[in-house]
Structures are given as structure tokens and as C-alpha cells.
Structure 1
Amino acid sequence: MDTNNSAAEGPELAEPYLREVLDMAGLAVEYVRAGGNTLYQRGADGGEIAIADFAGGYGSVLLGHNHPDIVRCARELLEAGTPVHAQFSRHPYANRLASELNRIVHRELGTDEPYYAIFANTGAEAVEAAVKHAEMDRGMRIVALGEELQRSADSARDAVAGGSVVADRVLRRFGVSAAAGPAAAFAELERHLTEHNTAQLERPPLFLALEGGFHGKLGTSVQLTHNEAYRTPFRSLAAQARFVPWERPEALKEIHERDRGVCFELVVADGQVDVAEREFPVFCAFLLEPIQGEGGIHVLTAEFAEAIQRFCEEIDCPVIVDEIQAGMGRTGTLLASSQVGLRGDYYTLAKTLGGGIAKTSVMLVRETRYRREFEIVHSSTFAKDSFSCTVALKVLELLETDGGAYRRVEERGAALRAMLESVRADFPEQVQEVRGKGLMLGLEFRDQSDAESEAVRGLAGSGLFGYFLAGHLLREHRVRTFPTASAVNTLRFEPSIELADEEIARLETGLRDICALLRDGDGSRLAGAATG
């Protein structure tokens, strides 16, 4: 198969190092056409070579490449001269899209509380919008808390002036002497509490996120992505996160006890001044994916989801559900999280929302959390336009019509999973596990670092193990997929609902070939692109 589709065009200036990595793994291929579940590249004779696409634009083309109804919608919009750039005006199409999203969300969650929509262009930008909104909300709650503490202090001061005294146990607790009299004791106590409270009220936010999670690579979202290689170069730029071990709900209380914030409030009861503790909202938000995409296709259980929901409600920490890769019908419902009973305060949706054509995303925030002031301090030049919103409405129409697309996801996903499980059963020494839901599945290979074959050990130690496997599938079997970015021993499969039985069979042949090569220690064939 010819993988060099383009003639020499001079030096590589568009991400040349990435091109070198793709070349090494045998993935530097130019695709010239796409349709359904297929990408096409040019062969040496100029003819097209069909490639079964199991990568699916990292999950962006659930309905297939260039779906005819979506293409028709896009063409009609452009031919009609739809206003792509009409910022700071009425956008009725955006409101229709927000209303349709609400209708589906209400059905899946069993609620009628509105979710307000902030539109964006990419998934990472939607996450940034959610995080910014949560921090604005936290900041406004902090201001309100500070004002309440001040009012309580004023009332307590008036009470002391009227003859009330500070309770002895309070004076002992804070190391204040009563020798100079009630007024002086109160003044000293107030000074101590004010210093403490001021320090608390100025604390920066902490975020909670799951180990293995991926939320983007922008300034803030990268700090909420667990992969340390992505975070470390930019650790001084953005907010800090506490990463919660996967399926360890007891760790939530441990983190809370270690990092929680407390403010002290002066209160008057039964003629005495006392001190009450007020929880300070140091935790800005808890970010999680219902199915971790880049972390290795790990599925959140209903039990862990319930524990997270209960914990966040107890400490008044909003939940941001990142549905960017798992949502938009990929698991058989619009929200993958609805299947485990999780309700988010925020949702982020992208990828298939644009039908594989429009670049669009949305952040949804429930009414009880919404801050309308956010609409003034946050904006995005290319968001909320007629083209992307109308295309997204067509996508929802195609997903929702008779529920056929959702049923197709379940049926095609079950067929694909059955094949993957059969490969695992036949090659237990090579395949660790099959994970996922619907058309978001992963096949984890066992660590080959101790393989008898030096060539296989070399692939395992390269940091690109899964990419070499993907290169072999492409080169030898005309199948396209990738490993998950933070777990390179796991190949991901996120095809469209157009997935055919023949394509599943072709993938099966390729996977069995890989397993046999690993079993036989034939690493040189797996690394064929790197060795020429």
C-alpha cells in the first residue's frame, strides 16, 4: 500500500515533529475522500484505497463521514448566504438548539429544570467555559460569604457594647485573655478571626478530577487532565487539581479533610458571643468523564457516580460532566452519564454535535447554578453562528428520529464488542481486557515489556506501542484506529453507525494477526514501517 500520497512540497512546516512520529509508526497517510465509515487514500497507481475508519475523528463522526443529509443542510445554508458572522445580535437558531438539547436532557434526566447554553467551538473550549463559569459562581459565593461574616461581626460587636460577653470556651479556644475586659477581649478575638477569614477568602480554587481523565490541552483544561506529561510543562499557568483515584470513593473524604477551608463566624446566642464554622468553597468543581476516552476507555460505575454525586452535594461543589467524547449518542443516549444516574450541574458536548462538518461545542449549566453576568465576561468569535447551530439541529434530528440511531449504536456496538471479546478469549496471553459501551470500545493489550522477543520489548519500551499496532492494522489490513493518548496499550474503536459486518470482520482479522505476531515474538513485522 502506498502511504505517500502527496508529491514533495518542500520542508515540513506544519508540526514537523508530529509528522516524524507518524512516519515512524506508519500512520503518515493523506486521506483524499471520506464517506460513511470509510476514508480513502491514493494508491501508487492513482486509484483510491478504502480504509475502514474505527477512529471516527476521535468520536466526531457517529453519523458517518459526510452524511448526505448534513452535507445537504450545510450546502443549503452556504448557498443561501447564511450569516456566519453576525455577532452581538439575536440568534434564534442558537435558542432553538438550546431548547432541543434541553428537551432531550430533560427526558434522560427526568427533570424539567432548564439548562442554559454557552456555545463554543471545541470541546476544550467548552470545558474552559464551564470552569470559568464555575469559578465566577464560586467568586460570587465568596463575596456573599464575606458580607455575611461582616454583618455577623457587626451584630456581635453591637451585642458586646450592649452588655454581652464572649463565651469563656471561645476565649480559651483562640488564646484570648479576658483580663482587659469584654470589649478588649472581643476586639482581640475579632482581629484573630478577621486575619484567618481574610486568608481563607483569598484562597485560589482547587478542582477535583478523576485519575486518568482527559479534558483538553488549553491553559486551564490541561491542568485538569491527569496525564502528567501534558500538565508539567504548563503547571505554573493555571488552576490546580486534586486527582481522585478511580473507583475509590473513600478518597473523596480524605481529600476534603486535607484541603477544606473553614471560616469563623461570630454569632450571638443566649447573651453570649460564640463562634460558628462556615464551610469555605475552596473546591470549585469536580470534572469527570462518564467513559474516559484518552485514559483507556474506562466506564464510570453507577456506584462510584452515586458516591461522587452525594459527596459534591454535601460540600456544595458543582459537577462538570465532560460528555465530549462519550456523549451525543455514542453509547445509545445523548448523555452517557444518564445511564449511570449521574446528574451534572454542567455538561460539555462537542464532536458529533457538529455532524463531522461544523466546528462547534456547547456548555450547559443548570438554572440553579447559572450566573447571567457570565454572558458579558465570556465570548467566542466563531460560536453560536447560524451555520453551526443549524447543522447541530440537523444532527439532533437524525439522532432522535424514531430513536433509530440510538438503537443502531446499541446493535452495532454489541456486534463489535462480541468480536473483540472473541479475540480476547482466543488470545488471553496477549489481550488484557475489553472495555466500553456502545460504539466507544477499547481493547487493552498486556504489557510486553518482559516479552522474550527483543523486538517486541523494543516496541513496548518505545512509548508508541499502540501506534505501531495501529500502523500495522493500516498497512496490512486497511483498518484505521489509534491507541488512547494516555494509555497506549489500549486501542480505541469509535466507528460510525454505518459500521458494516465486513469492516468488523476485517478488524478481527487484523487483531488476530497482531495477537499472533505478539505470541510468536515477531516484532519486526509489527514495526514494519519503522524498519522499512
Structure 2
Amino acid sequence: MDTAPSLTDGAPSLTAAAIEREEAHAAHNYHPLPIVVESGEGAWVTSVDGRRYLDCLAAYSAVNFGHSNPDLLDAARAQLGRITLTSRAFHNDQLGPFVESLAALAGKDMVLPMNTGAEAVESGIKVARAWGYRVKGVADGMANIIVADGNFHGRTISIVSFSDDPSARDGFGPFTPGFRSVPYGDAAALEAAIDENTVAVLLEPIQGEAGIIVPPESYLPAVREVCTAKNVLMIADEIQSGLGRTGSTFACDRVGVVPDLYLLGKALGGGIVPVSAVVGNADILGVLRPGEHGSTFGGNPLAAAVGSAVVALLETGDFQRLADARGALLAARLTALIGHGVVAVRTAGLWAGIDIDPALASGREVCERLMERGVLAKDTHGSTIRLAPPLVVSAADLDWAVDQLAAVLRDVSAA
């Protein structure tokens, strides 16, 4: 069992050379930590310099089942030797089993397969508008959708149109109309914003990019009740929170809520290929007609084969139970740091938002110091860091990671 990173002297020039090449030729839309990863297994990755790091980000939950998961790699390898892409102009033998199993996992009957999370969100918006015009009877061009302050659903033009994050929005207008934002966690404000032209409410059950913001337990049930009463679709963006991360298959399960549409992605591709989906019932997804929406790669045989293997892993419930048990340990350890450099902690399964005392250090500075100690994490919104290790992480590794955070906080407090 690994409880600390194994270090080698390595050659720093390998890291420097790789970073220099990337910085010279890749658009600067990210600001990565100065580490160059070349391999990974389970919850650990290894850099080009031979140093091992505990991955506490899991590619924003895309690697929920661990790096190089053997079941997922086997499924991908088997399909690679057969066929990888046909387009949706033809049927393929992998798509049917995939969408059938995913629909069953979600308790729905239909799936719209896409590739990225942002595509799933855009697709959900289109479906909601089409449903509003064709089923609810909203006048053409008048549909509106309610969203929440602090949301993160992606970075396409339509999505940043209803973002309040300046870094995602400023300088990219003009924006797409048809969205209204209300305070997250406030069901009364949401209800007040709904009018006769409202077709959907689009929410993250737990806001990830905002810092793992967990709403009051009564919030999602109240939203579900309002949407039902007002004949408005409830759309749950479970791209980060779904597929085991929070200790349940979906974050909505934590409070017994079933939305009209699930938006899924990230972990659905097992960390191997991009796979996303809109999942719902035929009375909603059935509004789409041939030619109105599509994707060359959406539902491709390779993605479907990997997606089926992901669903099979989730059907056992083992990963959900791991996230629940390990999450309780993580929550207890992190809560003990409050008052010792930590201002607040929010957790849901193996997902944690940790507010660092801004007088001590920024979130970026803490993540840089954690990296030096062999732990990879990600900052957000100034002084907040996020932890989201693969669900296969061991209890001993989690303990060790929190020990490193405690040591970093002692260091910055003494500085």
C-alpha cells in the first residue's frame, strides 16, 4: 500500500523541456501546475522525472474509477481491434447496449449520446426549448431557462452567457439570450423567476467549480416540487457530481430527487475517451427529429464500449460505497483542520471544497506546496482548493494526503 510518494533524483530538464514546448505551441487557456505526467495507475500518477504523486483531482472527476482501470482498458482494447467510428449515419453494435444500460441505471428510457460535458449541456438546452415549443406550447422564440448564480456548466458561448464568472465571460459577448439567474439554494427565488415561457430549470445538484457548494437538504426537493407544479423541466447537471463521486450514483439520489433530464459526462468515458449524454424519458427526448441535432463522434463504437463498461462498474454499487466510506474519513480529517489554517470545509462523498484562510495563502499557493509534497489538487476562486481523488483511493493514502495539507498549513502559518 502506498502512503507516500517515491522520489527519484530525476532530471528537472525533462519537465522544463516539456513545459517549454507546450507553452510555446498550445493556447494559454489553462495555467497548469508545473508537473508533467507521463503515466498513472489507480490513484497515483508518475511524472517524466520519475516522481509519484497522489492525484486528488481525478481530471475533475473524469477518472473516478482510477487511472488505467483494467476493466475499462480491456473494453477499450477489445473495441479498438474491431471498429472505432461509423458516425450515426449507420447503426453500430455497441450503441444499443450502451444506451439501454445507461438509461436503466438512471431509471429512464432514452439517451442522447454526445462527447463532452459542454455538448451535453448545449444538447439539454436545445431539448428543453424544443419541448417547450412542441409540448408545453410556448410561443416560438420566447422560451427561457432558469439557472443559478455561481454556476459552471462549460465554456461555450451559450453557456458563458449565463455564467457570472468574469474569467469565463468577460470579452466574449454578445451573449445568447433566454436565461435568468437566481441565487443558488433559494427555491423561493427560483419559483418567483418562473413565468409562462419558462421551459426548464438547469442546476448543478452540488456546484463543483464554485468550490463544492452543497445546497440545503430541502433545496432540490423544493425545486422538484416547483418544476412539477409549474410544468417546467428539471435538468440536473451531474457531469462532475454524478457516477459515484458523491457516494451515490447521482448526487440527486442523496435527497431522493429524480430530475426530468440528467446531463452526464466526464466519468462516463472512464478517463479514456470523451463521452457525455442527456438521459431522460421519451416524452421529452422524443421531441428531437432526425437532422435537428447530431454529432459525428457522439455514440461512436469505442465510446459506447467504454461507456458500457463504466455502467457495469456502477451497477455493482461498489464504487458508490467506496466513495461514501472514504468520504466520511476525508470529511472527518478535513474538519479537524478548521481553525488551523482552514476557514470552512464542504464535502459530499469523495469531493471536498476547502476554504484556506486568505491571510495565510491563496489556493494556488497551497496547491503548489502540496505538489512539492507529492499531492495534486486544484484551486478555485482565490483561496479555495478542491479535492476529488479517484474513488479507488485507499484510506491510508487519504490520511497521508490530509497530513500533507496539514503540514503545508503549518508551513504557511509559520512563514
Q: Does 1:351 find its partner at 2:266? A: yes
Aligned length: 404
* Residue in 2 that maps onto 1:28: 34
Structure index of larger Rg: 1
* Residue in 2 that maps onto 1:152: none
* Residue in 1 that maps onto 2:377: 481
How does 1:42-191 map onto structure 2 within 5 Å? Answer: 42-43=48-49, 48-79=50-81, 81-106=82-107, 114-141=108-135, 144=137
2-structure distance, mates of 1:3, 1:292: 39
Instruction: Kindly state the Cα deviation for residue 296 of structure 1 after the two structures are TM-superposed.
Output: 0.9
Instruction: Kindly state the Cα deviation for residue 236 of structure 1 after the two structures are TM-superposed.
Output: 1.7
Distance 1:202 1:118, change over 3 A: closer
* Residue in 2 that maps onto 1:12: 23
Identity across the alignment (%): 27
Distance 1:248 1:87, change over 3 A: closer
How big is each residue's C-alpha offset from its partner over 1:246-305, in whole Å with a ceiling of 9 and x where there is no partner?
A: 32222124324xxx3xxxxxxxxxxxxxxxxxxx32x23211111111011012333111
Higher helix share: 1
How does 1:45-444 map onto structure 2 within 5 Å? Answer: 48-79=50-81, 81-106=82-107, 114-141=108-135, 144=137, 201=139, 204-256=142-194, 260=195, 280-281=196-197, 283-401=198-316, 403-424=317-338, 428=339, 430-444=341-355
Q: Partner of 2:236: helix, strand, or coil?
A: strand
- 208-217 or 7-16: which moved more? 7-16
> Is the 2:86–2:92 contact (alpha carbons within 8 Å) kept by the matching residues of 1?
no
How big is each residue's C-alpha offset from its partner over 1:424-475, in whole Å with a ceiling of 9 and x where there is no partner?
A: 2xxx152122212111122112332xxxxxxx5xx5xxxxx21221111001
How big is each residue's C-alpha offset from its partner over 1:328-349, in whole Å with a ceiling of 9 and x where there is no partner?
A: 1112222111221222111111
Distance 1:372 1:473, change over 3 A: same
Instruction: Kindly state the Cα deviation for residue 495 of structure 1 after the two structures are TM-superposed.
Output: 0.8
* Residue in 1 that maps onto 2:365: 468
Instruction: Kindly state the Cα deviation for residue 381 of structure 1 after the two structures are TM-superposed.
Output: 0.8
* Residue in 1 that maps onto 2:409: 515
Distance 1:466 1:240, change over 3 A: farther
Distance 1:436 1:235, change over 3 A: farther
Q: Given residue 467 of structure 1, which amino acid in structure 2 is its aligned partner? A: R
Q: Partner of 1:325: helix, strand, or coil?
A: coil
Instruction: Kindly state the Cα deviation for residue 368 of structure 1 after the two structures are TM-superposed.
Output: 2.8
2-structure distance, mates of 1:301, 1:500: 30
Q: Given residue 480 of structure 1, which amino acid in structure 2 is its aligned partner? A: L
Q: Given residue 12 of structure 1, which amino acid in structure 2 is its aligned partner? A: E
2-structure distance, mates of 1:102, 1:70: 19
> Is the 2:327–2:347 contact (alpha carbons within 8 Å) kept by the matching residues of 1?
no
Q: Partner of 1:85: helix, strand, or coil?
A: coil
TM-score, length-normalised on structure 1?
0.71
1-structure distance, mates of 2:329, 2:320: 14
Unaligned runs of 5+ in 2: 1-8
Instruction: Kindly state the Cα deviation for residue 375 of structure 1 after the two structures are TM-superposed.
Output: 4.1
Distance 1:372 1:204, change over 3 A: closer
2-structure distance, mates of 1:365, 1:235: 32
Distance 1:374 1:342, change over 3 A: farther
> Is the 1:60–1:352 contact (alpha carbons within 8 Å) kept by the matching residues of 2?
yes
1-structure distance, mates of 2:84, 2:184: 46
2-structure distance, mates of 1:375, 1:287: 25
Q: Given residue 89 of structure 2, which amino acid in structure 1 is its aligned partner? A: F
Distance 1:239 1:94, change over 3 A: farther
TM-score, length-normalised on structure 2?
0.90
Q: Does 1:503 find its partner at 2:397? A: yes
2-structure distance, mates of 1:226, 1:337: 24
1-structure distance, mates of 2:142, 2:14: 50
